[in-house]
Amino acid sequence: MNTIPQKLVIVITDDDEADLLIGKLVDRGYPATKVSSTGGFLRKGSATILSGVGAGDVELVLGIIRTECRPRTEYLPAQATPFPDAALPREPIEIRVGGATVFVLPVERFLKT
């Protein structure tokens, strides 16, 4: 059993950013497991990345996430939104994509078999 304080970092990001993020984490010695997921307003493919890290490494991991998962603005045709019949303007709608949602949780027990 590992006695070093551990944290579970859960990252939800765009599917296309996930592979780059995993590569950067693994290159720096942090484990990363990708779980495909779908969600959000646009129901686009996303990825949930799980990484167990030492408590002292959390800020370093968050820095990697901030660097690799940058939010950006895209324009979506109004007809492509989940509400195509709603009274929406006909011009494209500005949406925020990319970036990441991150949760850092304490780990009560960590075993590696």
Place of tokens 């646009």: 42
The DSSP output letter for 7 is E
Map out the domains of the chain as residue ranges: 6-107
pTM, to two decimals: 0.77
What's the Cα-to-Cα distance from 29 to each of 8, 39, 68, 80, rounded to whole Å? 15, 29, 16, 40
| b/e map 47-66, b = 16+ CB within 10 Å | bbbebbbeeebbeebbebbe
The DSSP output letter for 4 is S
How many whole angstroms separate alpha carbon 38 and alpha carbon 62?
22
> Which parts of the chain have pLDDT scores under 70?
1-3, 39-44, 78-90
* pLDDT for residue 74: 74
**Fold topology of 6-107:** Alpha-Beta Plaits (3.30.70)
Per-residue pLDDT reduced to its tens digit, 34-66: 998 876 655 667 899 999 999 999 999 999 999
